[in-house]
Amino acid sequence: MKKLYKLLIASVLMFGLTASANAIPIGPVFNPATGHSYQIVSGDWFTAESNAIALGGHLVAINDQAEQDWLEANIGFYSGWIGLTDPGEIDGNFIWTSGEAVTYTNWASGEPNNGAGGPEEDFVGLSISGPNSSWNDTTPFSFTSGIAEWSSTPVPEPATVALLGIGLAGLAGAEVRRRRKKRAVDKG
Ligand SMILES: [Ca+2]
Ligand SMILES: [Ca+2]
Ligand SMILES: [Ca+2]
């Protein structure tokens, strides 16, 4: 029994260590500069893109140095998918799954190399290690998660909700008054 208890503590500690090794935000993180939210989604490149679509966006399109810097600062040590791919037979013709134009790249030295004669590489991963990060084209099963990016719909402010409530109460009050007046007229 004591042994089992010890084992349980050991596994909890180990899980804790594993979890803290990757500083990946669990919930969405909002970037005020882009007005977009970001979250880690799991899967090979295709599954991760599907999961990003389910959130209302795509795998991240890194459009400029500022967005790249923001990801480094907010995600920390991490390797996973971004929404860049060169599908089909025209290698090197990279597109963002978001449909945005490719205006910025951050390839690692010697990349993209399309596998350098090995299995063809059409899917791009990002590796962040401290202040440095770089991109590499690879095969679609090289990573088990990616970064989703989507346009956030502003949630109504509590004040707006309260005002809406007052407005509805006002309408209900007017309806009651109208009915009372009608009753008075009917009686008279
Ligand atoms: Ca973006
Ligand atoms: Ca390729
Ligand atoms: Ca490569």
Residue 7, amino acid: L
CA of 62 to the centre of ligand 2 (A): 18
Ligand nearest to the CA of 87: 2
Smallest Cα–Cα separation from 71: which of 109, 23, 116? 23
pLDDT in tens, 1-20: 455 555 544 444 444 433 33
Give the confidence band of 100 by pLDDT, cuts at 50, 70, 90. Answer: very high
Rounded to the nearest 5 degrees, what angle is found at the Cα of 97, between the Cα atoms of 71 and 89?
Answer: 125
pLDDT at 183: 62
Which stretches of 12-71 are assigned E, i.e. beta strand? 29-31, 36-42, 58-59
What would the mean pLDDT of 78-97 be, rounded to a whole number? 91
Whether pTM > 0.75 for this model: the answer is no
In whole angstroms, what is the distance from residue 55 CA to residue 41 CA?
9
Smallest Cα–Cα separation from 72: which of 153, 183, 141, 147? 147
CA of 118 to the centre of ligand 3 (A): 10
pLDDT at 88: 79
CA of 111 to the centre of ligand 3 (A): 5
Q: Which residues contact 37 (CB under 8 A, 6 or more apart)?
A: 28, 29, 30, 31, 57, 149, 150, 151, 152
pLDDT in tens, 22-36: 445 567 999 999 999
For residue 188, is pLDDT > 90? no
CA of 125 to the centre of ligand 3 (A): 9
Strand partners, 21: none
Q: Which residues contact 48 (CB under 8 A, 6 or more apart)?
A: 41, 42, 59, 80, 81, 143, 145, 146, 148
